[in-house]
Structure 1
Amino acid sequence: MVARLIDEDPEGAYAYSKIALRLASRVAAVREAAGFAAYANQKYSEALAEFRAARRMTGNVDLWPVMADCERGLGRPEKALDMAGAPEVHKLDKAGQVEMRLVAAGARRDMGQLDAAIVTLQSPELASNSVQPWTARLRYAYADALLAAGREDEAREWFAKAVESDKDGSTDASDRLAELDGVEFVDALVEHEDDVEVEVEVATEAEAEDEIEADTDIEVGTEDDDEDDDDFDIVEAEQTKPVVEADDDDDAPRG
């Protein structure tokens, strides 16, 4: 349930993780799930504690980058940089090493070291033309760092490259690129709904005016109108008098 809800309902995922901790706090997967649920809710101190517990249970270093990012979240970018240079990083797979590079660049930016952040992201993975699961995020981070440093033309180029590699929409690179190009998106559905509401209001006012006019015509009249109504009632009454028909007997005259 944590995995199912963490993206769309992080608070719900966090609630499930607390229940899981009460039931099986000695299971490493439970501690790891609780860490990610806390991380998604920006509870970095709690997340770091759960990640450390999971790492002690398994001896695995896969959580090292996210643990370093928790240090950033706690306002300790220097600690995150120390972790980026630790021996554990060399034990990470390629995806983990790229993630660690992203965290380190973020820590540099937290410290106001924009040029150092850009250099940190410059790597063989960034220069590669092959698209990997981490490619879009790496290119996006590089473009964002360039833009923060005032290098807008280069930033636009790398945002475009991020769009090319972002097949599943994991970043908002397309929006950032459009923003740099001066393109403004308008939600046509919202405008249409507003127009419909206005039309309904106008129609309601028109109907109300018609009803008022109709009521006025009924209430306001003249004596001549009343007399005409009486004459009409007399004529109508005469027209509706019953007609007496002769019995259909043999002795009745015909013709």
Structure 2
Amino acid sequence: MERDEKRASAPALAHVEATVGKKIAGIVGDQAAKRLIGKLALALDAFEKGRYQDAKRIIIPITRECEGVHLIHEIAGLSLYRLGQWRDAADHLEKARAAMPASTLNHPVLADCYRALMRYEKVDELWKELKDASPDPAIVAEGRIVAASAQADKGDIQNAVRIMQQTKKDPAKVREHHLREWYVLADLYDRSGDVINAREWFKKIAHNDPDFSDIRDRLSAIGSH
């Protein structure tokens, strides 16, 4: 085991203790809680460093020992999602959702799991909840992209376009999530044969960030249509 896997970082420990320390202690007792909090912080560190397999290895036993704690299932679900294990990821993210029903933070990721599993009715349900809650615009943007992509997967490009048309065309400040939304919308226009609108949105992206994704190639290709 690498040295940085043996002891959790101070910020991770502080976050775990502040967020779920009392809840864990209430389930397993103070002595076991100290051990689990340390392991949970290790899993959090591994996840944040992109070591998703390590995070999974550490967190899954914790989910069995201390079920029903939001942060535990969240880390498990997000790690499994990064590993492409959609069904298990959805299971843990649903448990996190049940433990903290007011939160919509992970709705886009959960919806993307259901999209991969072709459970499109669940994607629609989560998108509606996310829209109604209206949390951070970046989270809504990710949810919108997943919802539209699910419609496109089903072959309903026009409905996918309608969903993406809800994005802001001229925000006061263009952020990463705006570019991502515009790219999806432009791609959908291109797939539907609407070259004029596709070119307009691809140009808008290039104007704001000429190095975004494969925007140069897309504009070059669409120019030859």
TM range (shorter): 0.5 to 0.7
How far the C-alpha of 1:89 sits from its partner, in A, is 3.2
The C-alpha deviation readout for 1:225-251, integer Å capped at 9, x for no partner, is: xxxxxxxxxxxxxxxxxxxxxxxxxxx
Could you say which residue in structure 1 is the equivalent of 2:60?
Answer: 21
Q: In 1, distance between residues paired with 2:211 and 2:105?
A: 24
Map 1:45-124 → 2, pairs under 5 A: 45-59=87-101, 60-86=103-129, 88-93=130-135, 94-123=137-166
How far the C-alpha of 1:172 sits from its partner, in A, is 2.8
Q: In 2, distance between residues paired with 1:21 and 1:80?
A: 25
Could you say which residue in structure 2 is the equivalent of 1:146?
Answer: 189
Change in Cα spacing, 1:120 to 1:138, as seen in structure 2 (3 Å) is same
Larger Rg over CA atoms: 1
How far the C-alpha of 1:166 sits from its partner, in A, is 4.1
Change in Cα spacing, 1:31 to 1:167, as seen in structure 2 (3 Å) is farther
Q: In 1, distance between residues paired with 2:161 and 2:170?
A: 13
Does the CA-based 8 Å contact 2:144-2:163 persist in structure 1? Answer: yes
How far the C-alpha of 1:121 sits from its partner, in A, is 0.8
State the TM-score, normalizing by the size of structure 2.
Answer: 0.67
Change in Cα spacing, 1:163 to 1:22, as seen in structure 2 (3 Å) is farther
Does the CA-based 8 Å contact 1:126-1:138 persist in structure 2? Answer: no
- What residue ranges of structure 1 are gaps of 5+ in the alignment? 6-11, 183-255
Identity of aligned residues (%): 28
How far the C-alpha of 1:98 sits from its partner, in A, is 2.1
Could you say which residue in structure 2 is the equivalent of 1:42?
Answer: 84
Does the CA-based 8 Å contact 1:2-1:33 persist in structure 2? Answer: yes
Could you say which residue in structure 1 is the equivalent of 2:19?
Answer: none
- What residue ranges of structure 2 are gaps of 5+ in the alignment? 1-45
Map 1:1-255 → 2, pairs under 5 A: 1-5=46-50, 12-23=51-62, 26=66, 27-59=69-101, 60-86=103-129, 88-93=130-135, 94-123=137-166, 125-128=168-171, 130-166=173-209, 169=212, 171-181=213-223
| Greater helix proportion | 2
Could you say which residue in structure 1 is the equivalent of 2:13?
Answer: none
Q: Which amino acid aligns with 2:118?
A: G
Does the CA-based 8 Å contact 2:111-2:123 persist in structure 1? Answer: yes
Does the CA-based 8 Å contact 2:210-2:216 persist in structure 1? Answer: no
Q: In 2, distance between residues paired with 1:37 and 1:160?
A: 35
Q: In 1, distance between residues paired with 2:110 and 2:169?
A: 23
Structure with the bigger RCO (C-alpha within 8 Å, sep 6+) is 2
Larger mean Cα displacement after TM superposition, 90-99 or 42-51: 90-99
Q: How many residues align?
A: 174
How far the C-alpha of 1:148 sits from its partner, in A, is 0.6
Q: Which amino acid aligns with 1:22?
A: P
